[in-house]
Each structure stands twice: as C-alpha cells, then as structure tokens.
C-alpha cells in the first residue's frame, strides 16, 4: 500500500473516531449543534449578499442586453433553473460526503457563475450570460439548503427555530446587497465594466467567502454525526424488531413541498417584474434597490419569530398564514398607484413575509417527515421542485406582464396563493381504509 493511501486511511480513521465520540455523547451533540449554527450563520451572512445580486439587477441586465422587456424574466428563470440542478447535486453530495462538502461546493460554484456574469456583461456576450446565470444558480440553491444544516442535530421541538436562525442572518447580506447597488455600480464603472455588473462582483466575492467558511470550519460534519446516531438507534432496535427500515411520512413530504413550491412561484413572479415596473414609472435604480432590499429583509429577518411560531402553533397554522399574507401582498401590488413608493414597499414586504411563513413551515414539515438516512437526498429533490417552480414563475412573469400588465400579474399571484388552503385540508384528512 502506498504512503498516500496509508495517510488517507489514517485520516479517515481519525475522522470516524471523532464522529463516534459525538455519537456517544449527548452533551457533545448539543455543543456541536450550537457551533454548527454559528458557522452556518456566518456563511449565510455572506451567502445572502450573493443571492441579492440576481434578484436586484438580473432582470435589468437582461433588459439592457436584450433590448426588450418581454424576456426580462429570463435571468431569474435561468438562475433558478440552475439552482434546481444544483439542489439535486448538493443534496446528493451532502448525503454521501456531508453538509461541509456539499454546501461548500455549491457556494463556490455560485461564485464562479457570478464572475461569468460580469465577464458576459463586459463583452456583451449573451450565451456566456445565460450559461453563467445557470452556474450562478448554484449559490442560490446552496443558500437555501444551508438552512437544513441547522436541523441535523436539533430536537424535534426546536427544528423550526434552528431553520429560522440559519435564515435570519441571511438578512444582513441580502439587505446590504441591493442597497449597495449604486456603490458596486460605481466600482464596476471605474473598472470599465457596465454599471449593472457591479452587484455580481459583490456576489462572486460573497459566495466564495461563504464556501470557504464552510469548507474550513464545519468540522465534524453535523449530518454525518446525525446519520451515525440514527444508525446506532436502528442497531439497538434490531433486537426488538426485524423491520428497521427508516420511516418516511409521504403526506408530510408532499404538503411541505407543496407549500414551498406554491409560495416560491407567487413570490418570484411578482418580485421579478417589480424592478422593471418601477423603472417604467420613473423610479431610479437606487429606489429599486431600496424596495428589493426591504422585500429581501422581509423574506429573512422575521425568521426567528416565524420559527418560534411554527414550533408553537404548528406547521399547518403558519402555512395558512402564508397563503393569506401572499394574497394581501398580491392585491396591494396590483392596485397600488405605480408612483407610490410606500405602497410598493408594503406590498413587497408582505410578499417576502408570506414566503417566509411558507418556507419555514414547509421546511420543518419535510424534516419531520424524513429520517437522517434519507434526509439530505430528499431535501435536495424537494429543493429541485422549488427551484423549478421559481424558474417557471420567473420566466412566465415577464410574458404575463408584457401581454397584460404588472397589476394583472400581481393579482394572479395573490389568487394563486389561496390554493394552499385546500391542499392543507387534504393533507390533514385521514386516508381511506
């Protein structure tokens, strides 16, 4: 056996011994859970800044390069489509290698994608823009999947709170990103690049830093410890029962996925066309950045309170709240005067809040319904559907708004959110014998 193989084997044995120590000690598990949340929070702060670039100026960059509004939703569709593929890959990689490797790879891919967007803008290269936006979507998917890392060692009664803690710190980066549009635009211009490429420069740096943080500090891997705990429990149960197949609650997965998919479609569709709608009615890029910044803050900042509410009042009640909040947001965006910044801010804030309710309640339902042996892979598959829903919402939003109006788009989105109610009622109905 070569010296490299010997070193690799010794390294694996040391890592397994460390993980085994955490499997055997509940106190160590609590310490690791606390440490994991801190690391995830640090990475999410940077990840949020990377996420915000595509939301804020993606549609405007496409509008500038394509010369038409009709396809302004294409960037959102592309990076959400890219996030669908990334969600599946990150989920599978996390299942096999742990959260550290899976999440770091996704963030680093997003960073390189953002660099590609900058180069595409500089050279006015549409094929490179579209390809880079797909890769940039890897950061979006990872930003979403990082919320699961905080739940791997959390108690069932604290899962929603753990999700919310991972999400709430995304706010700082996600709000800073849109409000740095002017600053990053000036930086890009001083470097001879288009103004709208500036936010993607910030995104590249932010995503790469987020990936490096996870790669270096997320040790031991909380997911690998959670898998080890589950395997130990199954081994102990083997003496009592022949059937130790991990239990999966399909209805819980279906309703959790449905809530997140529907809220994603509604949120992305209205959010994508808001910057274009504002620009058409005389609002500057700074005003656009402020409205989207407040929207993104509402998506993430209430997370801690939402998590407590989800744990206390249940996943179902907060899913209902999501549908009602999105309906109000859609109605307000549809009927607010286009020159009213205040009403646009309120509408987009409610849109973000409704999405927040749906994401945390749906995520908690998915975690409740899946054992560690299947959890990361299942989470990746669900996030694929969420990303595809976002891609559909983003692509269709430009077409609907171009053929009708922003008001019609917003109204349709608000009404669509009401589908959450019958879906949840179905999920609570007892299956027929």
Residue 140 burial (10 A CB sphere; 0-12, 13-18, 19+): buried
Q: Structurally, how many domains does the chain consist of? A: 1
Assess if residue 309 is contained within a domain. yes
Assess if residue 2 is contained within a domain. no
Nearest C-alpha neighbor of 65 from the set 136, 140, 133: 133
Nearest C-alpha neighbor of 353 from the set 230, 266, 248, 243: 266
Range of the domain at 333: 18-234+243-427
Assess if residue 180 is contained within a domain. yes
Assess if residue 7 is contained within a domain. no
Instruction: Please report the pLDDT score of residue 236 as a whole number.
Output: 61
Interval 158-212: pLDDT, tens: 888 888 887 777 777 777 777 777 888 889 999 999 888 888 998 899 999 999 9
Question: Could you give the CA distance from residue 238 to residue 208 in angstroms, rounded to a whole number?
Answer: 44
Question: Could you give the CA distance from residue 114 to residue 131 in angstroms, rounded to a whole number?
Answer: 11
Assess if residue 11 is contained within a domain. no
Assess if residue 433 is contained within a domain. no
Nearest C-alpha neighbor of 355 from the set 389, 382, 331, 319: 319
Assess if residue 8 is contained within a domain. no
Contact 134, 75 (CB under 8 A): no
Assess if residue 86 is contained within a domain. yes
For the chain, residues with pLDDT lower than 70 are 1-13, 15, 53-55, 68-73, 76, 234-248, 427-433
Question: Could you give the CA distance from residue 144 to residue 47 in angstroms, rounded to a whole number?
Answer: 10
Instruction: Please report the pLDDT score of residue 176 as a whole number.
Output: 74
Q: For residue 55, give the CATH number of its domain.
A: 1.20.1250.20
Question: Could you give the CA distance from residue 161 to residue 166 in angstroms, rounded to a whole number?
Answer: 9
Nearest C-alpha neighbor of 79 from the set 15, 9, 137, 161: 137
Question: Could you give the CA distance from residue 326 to residue 418 in angstroms, rounded to a whole number?
Answer: 8
Interval 127-144: pLDDT, tens: 898 899 889 988 888 888
Phi-psi map region of 246: left, alpha, beta (phi>0 left; psi -120 to 50 alpha): beta
Question: Could you give the CA distance from residue 103 to residue 91 in angstroms, rounded to a whole number?
Answer: 9
């Amino acid at each position: 056996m070569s010296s490299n193989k010997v070193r690799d084997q010794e390294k694996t044995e040391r890592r397994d011994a460390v993980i085994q120590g955490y499997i055997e000690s509940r106190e160590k598990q609590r310490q690791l859970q606390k440490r994991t949340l801190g690391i995830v929070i640090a990475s999410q702060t940077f990840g949020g800044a990377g996420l915000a670039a595509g939301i804020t100026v993606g549609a405007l960059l496409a509008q500038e390069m394509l010369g038409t509004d009709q396809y302004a939703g294409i960037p959102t569709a592309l990076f959400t489509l890219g996030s669908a593929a990334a969600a599946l890959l990150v989920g599978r990689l996390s299942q096999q290698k742990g959260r550290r490797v899976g999440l770091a790879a996704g963030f680093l891919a997003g960073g390189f994608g953002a660099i590609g967007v900058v180069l595409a803008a500089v050279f006015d290269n549409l094929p490179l823009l579209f390809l880079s936006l797909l890769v940039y979507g890897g950061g979006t998917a990872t930003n979403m999947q990082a919320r699961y890392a905080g739940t791997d060692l959390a108690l069932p009664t604290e899962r929603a709170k753990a999700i919310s803690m991972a999400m709430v710190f995304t706010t700082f980066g996600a709000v800073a990103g849109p409000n740095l549009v002017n600053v990053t635009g000036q930086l890009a211009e001083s470097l001879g690049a288009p103004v709208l490429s500036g936010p993607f420069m910030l995104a590249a740096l932010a995503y790469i830093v987020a990936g490096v943080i996870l790669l270096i500090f997320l040790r031991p891997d909380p997911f690998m410890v959670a898998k080890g705990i589950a395997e130990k429990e199954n081994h102990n149960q083997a003496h009592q029962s022949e059937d130790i197949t991990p239990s999966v609650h399909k209805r819980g997965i279906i309703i959790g996925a449905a809530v997140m998919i529907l809220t994603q479609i509604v949120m992305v569709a209205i959010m994508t066309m808001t910057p274009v709608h504002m620009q058409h009615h005389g609002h500057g890029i700074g005003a656009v950045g402020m409205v989207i910044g407040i929207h993104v803050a509402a998506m993430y900042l209430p997370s801690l309170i939402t998590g407590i509410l989800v744990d206390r009042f249940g996943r179902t009640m907060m899913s209902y709240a999501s549908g009602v909040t999105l309906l109000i947001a859609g109605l307000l965006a549809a009927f607010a005067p286009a020159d009213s910044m205040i009403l646009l801010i309120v509408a987009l804030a409610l849109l973000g809040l409704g999405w927040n309710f749906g994401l945390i309640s749906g995520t908690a339902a998915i975690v409740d319904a899946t054992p560690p042996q299947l959890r990361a892979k299942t989470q990746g598959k669900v996030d694929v559907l969420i990303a595809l829903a976002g891609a559909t919402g983003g692509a269709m939003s430009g077409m609907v708004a171009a053929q009708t109006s922003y008001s019609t788009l917003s109204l349709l989105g608000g009404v669509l959110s009401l589908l959450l109610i019958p879906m949840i009622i179905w999920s609570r109905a007892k299956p027929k014998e």
